[in-house]
Amino acid sequence: MTKEFKSLGSFAKFLGTREVALHETLHVALEVVAAKMQKTARDEIGIYQPETGPFPAWAELAEFTVQDRLAQHYSPDEPLLRDGTLRDSITHEVEGLEAVIGSDSDIAVWQELGTVKIPPRPFLGTAAFHDAHFAVATVGAAAVAALGGEEKVFVSQSFKIKDEV
Protein backbone atom coordinates (compact mmCIF):
# COMPACT_ATOMS: atom_id res chain seq x y z
CA MET A 1 0.00 0.00 0.00
CA THR A 2 1.42 3.40 -0.99
CA LYS A 3 0.64 6.48 1.05
CA GLU A 4 0.91 9.99 -0.28
CA PHE A 5 1.38 13.07 1.87
CA LYS A 6 0.55 16.65 0.95
CA SER A 7 3.35 18.11 3.08
CA LEU A 8 6.28 17.22 5.28
CA GLY A 9 4.09 18.21 8.20
CA SER A 10 1.44 15.61 7.34
CA PHE A 11 4.18 13.02 6.89
CA ALA A 12 5.66 13.90 10.31
CA LYS A 13 2.21 13.71 11.90
CA PHE A 14 1.67 10.27 10.36
CA LEU A 15 5.04 9.04 11.68
CA GLY A 16 4.07 10.30 15.13
CA THR A 17 1.05 8.02 15.08
CA ARG A 18 3.25 5.03 14.27
CA GLU A 19 5.46 5.14 17.39
CA VAL A 20 3.35 2.81 19.54
CA ALA A 21 2.64 0.46 16.64
CA LEU A 22 6.35 0.35 15.78
CA HIS A 23 7.31 -0.51 19.36
CA GLU A 24 4.64 -3.20 19.66
CA THR A 25 5.41 -4.70 16.26
CA LEU A 26 9.15 -4.80 16.91
CA HIS A 27 8.48 -6.47 20.26
CA VAL A 28 6.49 -9.21 18.50
CA ALA A 29 9.20 -9.56 15.84
CA LEU A 30 11.81 -10.01 18.57
CA GLU A 31 9.62 -12.68 20.19
CA VAL A 32 9.50 -14.54 16.86
CA VAL A 33 13.27 -14.24 16.40
CA ALA A 34 14.08 -15.24 19.99
CA ALA A 35 11.78 -18.28 19.83
CA LYS A 36 13.43 -19.39 16.59
CA MET A 37 16.94 -18.98 18.03
CA GLN A 38 15.91 -20.90 21.15
CA LYS A 39 14.60 -23.73 18.95
CA THR A 40 17.75 -23.71 16.80
CA ALA A 41 19.99 -23.91 19.89
CA ARG A 42 17.91 -26.72 21.40
CA ASP A 43 17.98 -28.64 18.11
CA GLU A 44 21.80 -28.58 18.09
CA ILE A 45 22.03 -30.49 21.38
CA GLY A 46 22.81 -34.17 20.82
CA ILE A 47 24.17 -33.79 17.28
CA TYR A 48 27.81 -33.07 16.44
CA GLN A 49 27.97 -29.58 15.00
CA PRO A 50 30.32 -28.54 12.19
CA GLU A 51 32.42 -25.39 12.24
CA THR A 52 30.01 -22.48 11.87
CA GLY A 53 31.29 -18.96 11.24
CA PRO A 54 33.75 -18.18 14.03
CA PHE A 55 32.65 -21.21 16.09
CA PRO A 56 34.66 -24.45 16.07
CA ALA A 57 33.32 -27.86 15.13
CA TRP A 58 32.42 -29.98 18.12
CA ALA A 59 35.14 -32.37 19.24
CA GLU A 60 34.35 -36.06 19.55
CA LEU A 61 33.39 -37.14 23.06
CA ALA A 62 36.28 -38.41 25.18
CA GLU A 63 36.38 -42.17 25.77
CA PHE A 64 35.82 -41.58 29.49
CA THR A 65 32.64 -39.63 28.68
CA VAL A 66 31.40 -42.34 26.31
CA GLN A 67 31.95 -45.01 29.00
CA ASP A 68 30.22 -42.86 31.62
CA ARG A 69 27.25 -42.33 29.29
CA LEU A 70 26.96 -46.07 28.67
CA ALA A 71 27.19 -46.84 32.40
CA GLN A 72 24.25 -44.47 32.97
CA HIS A 73 22.25 -46.05 30.13
CA TYR A 74 22.54 -43.09 27.76
CA SER A 75 23.38 -43.23 24.09
CA PRO A 76 27.17 -43.27 23.71
CA ASP A 77 27.32 -40.59 21.07
CA GLU A 78 24.83 -37.75 21.58
CA PRO A 79 27.01 -34.86 22.71
CA LEU A 80 25.49 -32.63 25.41
CA LEU A 81 22.32 -34.72 25.53
CA ARG A 82 21.59 -37.04 28.41
CA ASP A 83 18.20 -36.52 30.03
CA GLY A 84 17.40 -33.25 28.24
CA THR A 85 18.12 -30.97 31.20
CA LEU A 86 20.69 -28.86 29.35
CA ARG A 87 18.55 -28.66 26.20
CA ASP A 88 15.45 -27.73 28.18
CA SER A 89 17.37 -25.06 30.11
CA ILE A 90 17.69 -23.00 26.92
CA THR A 91 15.02 -20.31 27.10
CA HIS A 92 14.31 -16.86 25.78
CA GLU A 93 12.91 -13.63 27.18
CA VAL A 94 11.79 -10.50 25.41
CA GLU A 95 11.36 -7.29 27.33
CA GLY A 96 10.61 -4.16 25.41
CA LEU A 97 13.00 -4.10 22.50
CA GLU A 98 15.56 -6.48 23.98
CA ALA A 99 15.71 -10.25 23.58
CA VAL A 100 17.84 -12.71 25.51
CA ILE A 101 18.34 -16.32 24.46
CA GLY A 102 20.36 -18.46 26.83
CA SER A 103 20.54 -20.76 29.79
CA ASP A 104 21.07 -20.22 33.50
CA SER A 105 22.90 -23.55 33.70
CA ASP A 106 26.61 -23.50 34.58
CA ILE A 107 26.97 -26.56 32.35
CA ALA A 108 25.74 -24.51 29.38
CA VAL A 109 28.49 -21.95 29.99
CA TRP A 110 31.15 -24.65 30.33
CA GLN A 111 30.02 -26.38 27.14
CA GLU A 112 29.53 -23.19 25.12
CA LEU A 113 32.93 -21.72 26.00
CA GLY A 114 34.90 -24.80 27.00
CA THR A 115 37.10 -25.23 30.06
CA VAL A 116 40.60 -26.53 30.70
CA LYS A 117 39.19 -30.08 30.45
CA ILE A 118 36.20 -29.61 28.11
CA PRO A 119 36.51 -28.45 24.48
CA PRO A 120 34.00 -25.77 23.48
CA ARG A 121 30.78 -27.06 21.97
CA PRO A 122 28.95 -23.83 21.15
CA PHE A 123 25.23 -24.00 20.59
CA LEU A 124 24.02 -20.52 21.54
CA GLY A 125 26.53 -18.61 19.43
CA THR A 126 25.98 -20.92 16.49
CA ALA A 127 22.20 -20.57 16.79
CA ALA A 128 22.57 -16.79 16.59
CA PHE A 129 24.92 -17.19 13.61
CA HIS A 130 22.51 -19.55 11.81
CA ASP A 131 19.49 -17.33 12.43
CA ALA A 132 21.11 -13.91 11.86
CA HIS A 133 19.62 -13.39 8.39
CA PHE A 134 16.20 -14.46 9.64
CA ALA A 135 16.50 -12.00 12.53
CA VAL A 136 17.48 -9.08 10.30
CA ALA A 137 14.75 -9.87 7.76
CA THR A 138 12.05 -10.33 10.41
CA VAL A 139 12.88 -7.20 12.41
CA GLY A 140 13.38 -5.16 9.24
CA ALA A 141 10.07 -6.31 7.78
CA ALA A 142 8.36 -5.54 11.08
CA ALA A 143 9.72 -2.00 11.09
CA VAL A 144 8.68 -1.38 7.49
CA ALA A 145 5.22 -2.84 8.08
CA ALA A 146 4.63 -0.80 11.24
CA LEU A 147 5.82 2.43 9.68
CA GLY A 148 3.59 1.71 6.68
CA GLY A 149 0.59 1.04 8.88
CA GLU A 150 0.42 -2.73 8.45
CA GLU A 151 1.68 -4.19 11.73
CA LYS A 152 0.67 -7.80 11.10
CA VAL A 153 2.15 -8.55 7.69
CA PHE A 154 5.79 -9.00 8.63
CA VAL A 155 5.66 -12.43 10.27
CA SER A 156 7.75 -14.96 8.37
CA GLN A 157 5.90 -17.92 6.94
CA SER A 158 8.95 -20.12 7.59
CA PHE A 159 8.68 -19.97 11.37
CA LYS A 160 5.64 -19.59 13.57
CA ILE A 161 5.29 -19.30 17.32
CA LYS A 162 2.21 -20.17 19.32
CA ASP A 163 -0.30 -17.33 19.51
CA GLU A 164 1.73 -15.06 17.25
CA VAL A 165 0.30 -11.84 15.85
Residue with more model confidence, 93 or 19: 93
Give the chain's largest Cα–Cα span: 76
pLDDT tens digits for 65-89?
A: 999 999 999 999 999 999 999 999 9
C-alpha torsion 62→65→66→67, nearest 10:
120
Tell me the one-letter amino acid at 4: E
Contact call for residues 165 and 56 (beta carbons, < 8 A) = no
Q: Which pLDDT score is estimated for 5?
A: 79
Mean pLDDT confidence for 156-161? 46
Question: What count of other Cβ atoms lies within 10 Å of the Cβ of residue 26?
Answer: 20
Closest CA to 2 of 142, 141, 143, 149: 149
Q: Which pLDDT score is estimated for 165?
A: 38
Q: Which pLDDT score is estimated for 17?
A: 78
Rounded to a whole number of angstroms, the distance between the first and last alpha carbons of the chain is 20
Compute the mean pLDDT over every residue in the chain, rounded to the nearest whole number.
89
Q: Is the pLDDT of residue 155 over 60?
A: no
- Collapsed DSSP state (helix, strand, coil) of residue 150: coil
pLDDT tens digits for 87-138?
A: 999 999 999 999 999 999 999 999 999 999 999 999 999 999 999 999 999 9
Closest CA to 47 of 127, 142, 113, 101: 127
Q: Which pLDDT score is estimated for 22?
A: 87
Q: Which pLDDT score is estimated for 1?
A: 56
Closest CA to 113 of 102, 98, 123, 103: 123
Give pTM, 2 decimals. 0.83
CA–CA distance, 66 with 120 (Å, rounded to integer): 17
Q: Which residues contact 62 (CB under 8 A, 6 or more apart)?
A: none
Mean pLDDT confidence for 2-11? 81
